[in-house]
Amino acid sequence: MALLLRTVARQGLCSSRLQFAVLYRHAVPMGTTAKEEMNKFWTKNTRLNRPVSPHVSIYKWSVPMMMSISHRGTGVALSSGISAFALAALVLPESYPYYLDLIHSMSFGPQFLAFSKFALAFPVAYHTFNGIRHLIWDLGKGFRIPEVYRSGYIVIALTVVTSIGLAAM
Amino acid sequence: MLTQIYVMFFMQYFIPSTAVLLCNTHLSRGLVAYQKNRDVEPFRLTAGRIHAASSHSTVSSSRAASMHWTGERVLSIVLLMDYSIAAALTLHGHWGIGQVLTDYVYGDVKVKLAKAGVLLLSTTTFFGLCYFNYHDVGLCKAVAMLWQI
């Protein structure tokens, strides 16, 4: 049907002309939204307990795939951290300097402290740099596969360097 | 005049060209004149005095006063930063978790519940961060202090 319409269009014939209306007179606008259709799909298939074809478990992992889910993972982790911090600020009785002094009094070794700073800085740096990569994609740039890999490696390199730099401060 | 100063200082961070404006407008000249006057007037006042021992301390006290004034503006910007960061983080996180929900949660009831839960979490987070900014050291200072352990 679509092929027929396209061949007709290619020959420069206007398909809105009345005599061609006969070709698509049976097409009516959809009665349901995409959301409703998806809900119907999921309720029917979970009710029938149908198995889902393996997808993430069998597809070969690639660097862009891993970076994408890491972006989501770091985002959720950072958001949870901020929410935990805010809730602690509301619930805990003492002030922030008190708890910092408490940590200070535990006298952790300098390597442990440096590693902790690295562990805090790493997700922030990664999410920020990959976020910039996303914004560049939103501008429409860098979608070719070699470019995707190149920008990905740059993000990883920047993340490691920045995290080490921040941990050393 | 003070509100103009606040606005100009604030705008510098959002529209870099206003930083140039701040350097060149009558406002900055007014600022310089304002400070110059504060330095000069004590001199004029002490010129008529018999003992001149206090002239040095009036200069240094007006220098301290102008530095205090600058410190107040810096603090205002930092407070602005604290609340802006709190707002930006919670909103970005709220929208982000919302996208995760849209990807993995199906069914009208479950979606509604999940979205309500996230809204509650985000509101509480924002309120908690603002509380921290007001009653405690503030976000920027908190990160600086944490890094100094």
Q: Is the pLDDT of residue B32 over 50?
A: no
Give the per-residue pLDDT at B20: 47
Provide the terminal-to-terminal Cα distance of chain A, rounded to the nearest Å.
Answer: 66
How far apart (Å, rounded) are the C-alpha atoms in residues A86 and B86? 10
The ipTM, to two decimals, is 0.76
Phi and psi, residue B54, nearest 5°: -85, -10
Give Cβ neighbours of residue B114 (< 8 Å, ≥ 6 apart): B101, B105
Domain count, chain B: 1
CATH number at residue B11: 1.20.1300.10
Residue in A closest to B99 by C-alpha: A72
Q: Is the pLDDT of residue A22 over 60?
A: yes
Cα–Cα distances (Å) from A107 to A101, A102, B141, in that order, read: 10, 9, 22
Q: What is the pLDDT of residues A116-146, one digit of tens each?
A: 999 999 999 999 999 999 999 999 999 999 9
Cα–Cα distances (Å) from B90 to A75, B124, B144, in that order, read: 12, 10, 20
Whether residue B92 is annotated as binding a ligand: the answer is yes
How far apart (Å, rounded) are the C-alpha atoms in residues B44 and A74? 63
Q: Does residue B12 belong to the interface with chain A, where contact is any CB pair within 8 Å?
A: no
Which domains are assigned to chain A?
63-168 (1.20.1300.10)
Q: Is the pLDDT of residue B27 over 60?
A: no
Which of A63, A68, A65 has the alpha carbon at shortest distance from A149? A63
Asked whether the beta carbons of A91 and A120 are under 8 A apart, the reply is: no
Instruction: Give the domain extent around B10.
Output: 1-147
The Cα of A16 is separated from the nearest Cα of chain B by a number of Å equal to 38
Q: Does residue B25 belong to the interface with chain A, where contact is any CB pair within 8 Å?
A: no
Residue in B closest to A99 by C-alpha: B146
Sign of the torsion formed by the C-alpha atoms of A42, A46, A48 and A50: positive
Q: Which of A61-70, A77-86, A98-107, B103-112 has the lowest mean pLDDT?
A: B103-112
Q: What is the pLDDT of residues B135-146, one digit of tens each?
A: 999 999 999 999
Residue in A closest to B133 by C-alpha: A89
Share of chain A above pLDDT 70, in %: 88
Give the per-residue pLDDT at B85: 95
Q: What's the token pair of residue A34?
A: 């995409």
Q: Which of A93-107, A131-145, B32-46 has the lowest mean pLDDT?
A: B32-46
Q: Does residue A45 belong to the interface with chain B, where contact is any CB pair within 8 Å?
A: no
Give Cβ neighbours of residue A130 (< 8 Å, ≥ 6 apart): A67, A70, A71, A74, A155, A159
Q: What's the token pair of residue A93?
A: 């009785």
